[in-house]
């Protein structure tokens, strides 16, 4: 089936799709059909005769990669589903399974997540005797700072300064030598235990390419056409990998929008997309500016704000397909309580009078605590909603613990997994857990039944745990998961029974246990189709976000960072006042922080299709005091319509 690309695409999209040779930067403004271009580009290459094996598509979620492959296959044929499409980390993990031995790393390495990294650092801190030193950064902060330093090619000191701010950094500056020693021991620990964190996947693959030119050339020959989605979110290491694979063959298409680079806090570098034409000589730049999402009134606002305030990047004047004759509103409530009441009443009017489904209504916030008053009102009125931007599924302790059963089965020497599991048993605290886990690191399962613990009340639990893990090896994977669910559920019930606490707290914990069991069922459903715990663990470590099934009609409350890529008929943006949203003020115009806040604001307002409400309370509560709410300096000089 041949596709009529000129008919299906607008002029700019057609140019982006059919420019296949050499480097091309596709600057896709919000709602301009970025994903559509990538899908058609895959189909176009294959129709031209390019083998699916020669196409590499890198995205930031495996879900996005799979959806693009499927859309292209539905449009053309099954060849499109045979391309390599995945995240950077998944691609590097796949390559390292093949080539890691070339740099002295065993191919059966374990991938660890940030929670595991923090646990390792906590153990190392305890060994150094500084786990309880006043003002010493938390282990999770060290993980974040270390990762950002690697991903942005900056010093650890600079990364800590950026993360903590000037005053907190001054408090911990004296600990820098200790921090560097801990991080060096952390690196050694991972190497000794054949572990890699997410950054190691990138760094070690770079090492493979550097030290083995033949491998680099082989991969460059295989992947003759590389496409990268959301390039504005790439970091130093990711760009380095791509450029190493394109030293000779320069067929590289990157698509993104510098205005939507909002993940600087985790290493994204907007300069990657801004400087791409200079780094790739002969690069063609294609602008996508026809917006298919919002009305012209919303586009006019976004165009004016970015033209007035953006001090870097590529200006893109977006044009909508329709005019609504409804202007975005700037709403000046008296305070945050009145702000919440206004939003509630407007949501009810949109739903009841204008028949807008709840799922087409979204409230956006810069920080997740901004919506506390609104959530109380929604609960009181029994209006259903989902909240995005809180804790992720695989960050919950009970899910991490569940997976540790699998990890200990696969690798009985996994000290970090044992450390988590052992603390689930009555009588085992941090000290015993650390000591027993260290023994298991050396002896494996036999470390659970050492003679020195024979008089401890938890010894029968250790023997039971050893027997349980051994039995898992003889079970089918799905039966294995059900066994873990049963074992862990009984353990939670026993813990609750033995706990000395109030009846109110006991009821809360009982409810939490029931929710945990429901989450276990979700996890087991996710594992359907996998035949081994090894492949399942690797997949979820690199893509840790289960997809929810469609439920009842529910509105959305979301942080802006969690709403990227989404769209809604009606959008409310909360607390559009300086120092709230943006978190900066007019004295910081031109700073890195203010530029990122501007991009966050652009992302927020371009989520709206038809109705946009910018909330700006006259008074706000901060740090226990009431302050005047000064309208965001991004809109104070451009907004005419107020309510």
- Backbone phi and psi for residue 537, each to the nearest 5 degrees, phi listed first: -60, -40
Rounded distance, CA 279 to CA 64, Å? 27
Residue 35 in marked binding region: yes
Rounded distance, CA 598 to CA 592, Å? 10
Residue 417 in marked binding region: no
Residue 165 in marked binding region: no
Residue 31 in marked binding region: yes
Alpha-helical regions (H) of 444-557? 459-472, 477-498, 503-526, 533-542
Residue 16 in marked binding region: no
Q: How far is CA 381 from the centre of its chain?
A: 32
Contact present, 130 and 136 (Cβ < 8 Å): yes
For the chain, counts of helices (H) and of strands (E): 27, 16
Rounded distance, CA 170 to CA 173, Å? 5
Nearest to 164 by CA among 77, 240, 234, 265: 265
Could you tell me how many residues make up the chain? Answer: 643
Contact present, 130 and 172 (Cβ < 8 Å): no
Q: How crowded is residue 264: how many other Cβ atoms within 10 Å of its Cβ? A: 19
Rounded distance, CA 184 to CA 146, Å? 11
- Burial of residue 61 (number of CB atoms within 10 Å: 0-12, 13-18, 19+): middle
Strands (E), 165-307: 195-196, 225-228, 252-256, 284-288
Q: Which helix (H) or strand (E) holds 150?
A: helix 139-152
Q: How crowded is residue 448: how many other Cβ atoms within 10 Å of its Cβ? A: 25
What's the number of CA atoms in the CB half-sphere (13 Å) around residue 183? 21
State both tokens at 487: 């074992």
Hey, which residues does 363 pair with through a beta bridge? 557, 572
Strands (E), 366-479: 385-388
Q: Which helix (H) or strand (E) holds 239?
A: helix 236-245
Write the DSSP assignment of 90-123 as a string of letters.
HHHHHHHHHHGGGGT--TTPEE--HHHHHHHHHH
Write the DSSP assignment of 603-633 as a string of letters.
HHHTTEEEEEEEE--SEEEETTEEEE--B-T
Contact present, 477 and 527 (Cβ < 8 Å): yes
Hey, which residues does 152 pair with through a beta bridge? none
Q: Give the single-character DSSP code of 282.
A: T
Residue 20 in marked binding region: no
Rounded distance, CA 397 to CA 395, Å? 6
SS3 state of residue 22: coil
Q: How crowded is residue 372: how many other Cβ atoms within 10 Å of its Cβ? A: 11
Rounded distance, CA 597 to CA 424, Å? 42
Residue 32 in marked binding region: yes
State both tokens at 23: 């480097």
385-398: b (≥16 Cβ within 10 Å) or e: bebebeeebbeeeb
Nearest to 364 by CA among 548, 581, 642, 622: 581
Residue 389 in marked binding region: no
Binding residues: 28-35
Annotated binding site for ATP: 28-35
């Amino acid at each position: 089936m041949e596709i009529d690309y000129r008919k299906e695409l607008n002029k700019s999209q057609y140019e982006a799709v059919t420019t296949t040779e050499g480097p091309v930067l596709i600057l896709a403004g919000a709602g301009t059909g970025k994903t559509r271009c990538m899908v058609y580009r895959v189909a176009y290459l294959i129709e031209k005769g390019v083998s699916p094996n020669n196409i590499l598509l890198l995205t930031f979620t495996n879900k996005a990669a799979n959806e693009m492959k499927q859309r292209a296959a539905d449009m053309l044929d099954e060849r499109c589903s045979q391309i390599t499409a995945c995240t950077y980390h998944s691609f590097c993990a796949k390559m390292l399974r093949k080539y890691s031995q070339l740099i002295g790393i065993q191919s059966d390495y374990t991938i660890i997540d940030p929670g595991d990294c923090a646990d390792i650092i906590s153990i190392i801190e305890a060994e150094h005797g500084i786990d309880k030193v006043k003002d010493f950064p938390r282990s999770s902060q060290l993980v974040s700072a270390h990762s950002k330093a690697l991903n942005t090619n900056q010093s650890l000191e600079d990364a800590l300064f950026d993360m903590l701010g000037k005053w907190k950094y001054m408090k911990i500056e004296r600990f820098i030598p200790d921090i560097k020693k801990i991080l060096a021991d952390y690196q050694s620990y991972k190497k000794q235990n054949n572990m890699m964190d997410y950054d190691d996947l990138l760094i070690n693959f770079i090492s493979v390419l550097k030290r083995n030119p033949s491998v680099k050339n082989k991969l460059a020959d295989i992947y003759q056409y590389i496409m990268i989605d959301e390039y504005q979110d790439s970091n130093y290491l990711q760009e380095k990998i791509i450029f190493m694979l394109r030293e000779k063959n320069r067929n590289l298409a990157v698509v993104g929008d510098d205005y939507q680079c909002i993940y600087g806090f985790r290493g994204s570098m907007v300069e990657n997309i801004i400087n791409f034409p200079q780094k790739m000589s002969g690069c063609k730049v294609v602008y996508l500016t026809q917006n298919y999402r919002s009305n012209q009134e919303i586009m006019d606002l976004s165009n004016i704000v970015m033209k007035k305030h953006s001090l870097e990047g590529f200006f893109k004047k977006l044009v909508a397909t329709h005019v609504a004759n409804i202007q975005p509103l700037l709403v000046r409530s008296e305070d945050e309580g009145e702000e919440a009441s206004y939003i509630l009443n407007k949501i009810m009017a949109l739903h009841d009078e204008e028949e807008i489904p709840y799922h087409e209504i979204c409230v956006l916030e810069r920080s997740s605590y901004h919506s506390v008053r609104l959530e109380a009102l929604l609960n009181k009125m029994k209006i259903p909603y989902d909240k995005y931007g809180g804790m992720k599924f695989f960050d919950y302790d009970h899910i991490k613990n569940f997976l540790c059963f699998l990890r200990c089965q696969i690798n009985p020497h996994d000290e970090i997994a044992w450390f988590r599991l052992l603390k689930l048993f009555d009588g085992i605290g941090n000290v015993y857990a650390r000591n027993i886990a260290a023994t298991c690191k050396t002896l494996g399962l036999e470390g659970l039944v050492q003679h020195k613990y024979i008089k401890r009340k938890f010894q029968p639990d250790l023997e039971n745990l050893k027997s349980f893990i051994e039995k898992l090896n003889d079970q089918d994977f799905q039966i294995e998961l059900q066994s873990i669910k049963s074992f862990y559920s009984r353990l939670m019930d026993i813990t609750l029974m033995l706990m000395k606490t109030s009846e109110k707290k006991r009821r809360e914990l009982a409810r939490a246990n029931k929710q945990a069991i429901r989450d276990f069922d979700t996890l087991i459903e996710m594992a359907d189709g996998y035949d081994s715990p090894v492949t399942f663990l690797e997949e979820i470590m690199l893509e840790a976000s289960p997809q929810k099934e469609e439920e009842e009609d529910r509105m959305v409350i979301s942080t802006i960072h969690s709403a990227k890529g989404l769209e809604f008929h009606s959008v409310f943006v909360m607390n559009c006042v300086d120092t709230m949203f943006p978190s900066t003020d007019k004295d910081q115009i031109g700073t890195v922080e203010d530029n990122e806040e501007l991009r966050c604001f652009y992302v927020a307002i371009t989520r709206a299709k038809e109705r946009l409400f910018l909330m700006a309370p006259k008074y706000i509560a901060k740090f226990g005091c009431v302050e005047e709410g000064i309208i965001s300096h991004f809109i104070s000089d451009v907004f005419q319509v107020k309510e």
